[in-house]
Amino acid sequence: MARKQIPAQEHEHGVMVETSKPEVTRPPLFQVVLLNDDFTPMDFVVEVLQVFFALNREKATQVMLHVHTRGKGVCGVYTREVAESKVTQVNEFSRLHQHPLLCSMEKA
């Protein structure tokens, strides 16, 4: 990671030292998005939102209904690796249960 150079300073020993201020940046964030379809049961979607996104039943039901009526909705916002892992886990879980439910990610 780049460090911003600030002017060299001469300390008591007569030695030139350079100090630099650490630059800390936030990692890019990604929204994990659930897509609507006509076949996945509502109860299954609510379960997915509770299990993989730690939503309580009420919040999971709200998100499911948002996706059902608007076509897609955000389940959570994570760093790239966590978002990729959620997408893979949800899509594998849905396929295992033979539902067409699809999850994807978008830059936040």
Which stretches of the chain bind ligand TYC, using CB under 6 A?
Answer: 34-38, 40-42, 45, 64, 67-68, 101
Outline where 1-108 has alpha helix (H). Answer: 42-53, 57-70, 80-96
Shorter beta-carbon distance to ligand TYC: residue 74 or 82: 74
User: In sequence order, what are the residues at sequence separation of 6 or more whose Cβ sits closer than 8 angstroms to the Cβ of residue 13?
Assistant: none
CB of 33 to ligand TYC, least distance (A): 9
Helix (H) or strand (E) holding 31: strand 29-35
CB of 81 to ligand TYC, least distance (A): 23
CB of 77 to ligand TYC, least distance (A): 17
